[in-house]
Amino acid sequence: MASSAESRFALIRDNLGEILNPELIESILAEGRNPRVYWGTATTGRPHSGYFVAAIKIAQLLAAGCEVVILLADVHAFLDSLKAPLELVENRVKYYEKVIRAILEAVGVSTEKLEFVLGSSYQRSSDYVMDVYRLAALTSEHDCRKAGAEIVKQSANAPMSGLLYPILQVLDEEYLKVDAELGGQDQRKLFTAATEWLPKLGYRKRAHLITPMVAGLSGGKMSSSVEDSKIDLLDPPEAVSKKIRKSEAFPRVVENNGIIAMVEFVLLPAADLAGKKEFRVERRDDEPLIYTDIQQLKDDYTNDILTPQLLKPAAAEALTRLMAPIHKAYVESAEWQEITLKAYPPPVVKKKEKKVKDKGTRHPGANKEQDLPERPKA
């Protein structure tokens, strides 16, 4: 564990895109205290490989002596356009805890040091609900829409629940008694809102640790709800290879390149945590390319020394190796497999009923005798 306040802060700051109100963290470290940090995730779609970014940062926070709380936000999942129907929420919470523990263990984090909290365990208390009312009275519809613009599904006639979502997340910082919140760049507007809104209720503002966003396989943001943008953490090796092979990675183009982003924010940092920071690219007729610095990899890609045809199989192999402990834990846990089926039941495919055509009485093979009109009785 890092010892001095300076080295601890350097570890907290490492691999972040930005820190809002960093002086709050620095003052806590100067006092010799351990900052209490929380990372929350709404229990909606199945977690993907982008979750490694938060897991690696959590490992660094623990190494810096921070207390880390993981919020399984079941109420948030329901509020965000019913992404998690109430009848599935309970099992999705169980699934998320299983997979998050497995991710963290895959990058060498002992989950015994973590505190898992279920959102509904305190978000239905009278004090919390009263604070929701108080904050709702002090914030405008415009402010709530702006705060949740990049994290809550919005439409012209969106449900009121989407406006409540940011209010709940802001209050979580107070009720979890944390000094800072960890989250992605897509939550920045909500973090700045928290800095403004909490003092209105007489609560102190917090620091915010912002991780960079990992580009998806099809460009843009990696998302649980966009199948082509992500690699599911339980995808088998052949599926990982196929998705990466089909991903968008134009020669010489580094921007919005999901494979390079995966190397930068997942594969290299994970290798560093494992004790050997390198990304290895095999070449059939030449020596392998070995990268310990992402800038060198980007330079080689821009100069076409490293091509998509070389990069993709190397990334697939490294990611498959990183995900192997997660697969092993899943295969060995009948409980986890049962939870998965209950949390994400396969869609029911309705069989199409065959319509019986009325061919009339003149088609070949018709029962002529049966179709003849009755003779009049003598």
* pLDDT 10s digits, 194-220: 999 999 999 999 999 999 988 888 776
The residue among 154 and 171 whose pLDDT is bigger is 171
What pLDDT sits at residue 326?
97
Q: Which tokens is 377 given?
A: 């009785």
Coil, strand or helix at 39: strand
Question: Is 60 exceeded by the pLDDT of residue 275?
Answer: yes
What H or E segment, with its residue span, contains residue 123?
helix 120-123
What pLDDT sits at residue 85?
76
* pLDDT 10s digits, 12-33: 999 899 999 999 999 999 999 9
What pLDDT sits at residue 368?
53
What pLDDT sits at residue 234?
94
The whole-number average pLDDT for the span 117-135 is 97
Question: Is 80 exceeded by the pLDDT of residue 162?
Answer: yes
Closest CA to 248 of 208, 287, 218, 221: 218
* pLDDT 10s digits, 64-76: 999 999 999 999 8
The whole-number average pLDDT for the span 270-277 is 94
Closest CA to 245 of 264, 259, 262, 260: 259
The whole-number average pLDDT for the span 308-334 is 97
The residue among 132 and 355 whose pLDDT is bigger is 132
Exposure of 297 in the CB half-sphere (CA atoms within 13 A)? 26
Closest CA to 42 of 7, 4, 10, 88: 88
The residue among 298 and 375 whose pLDDT is bigger is 298
Measured CA to CA, the distance from residue 309 to residue 374 in angstroms comes to 78
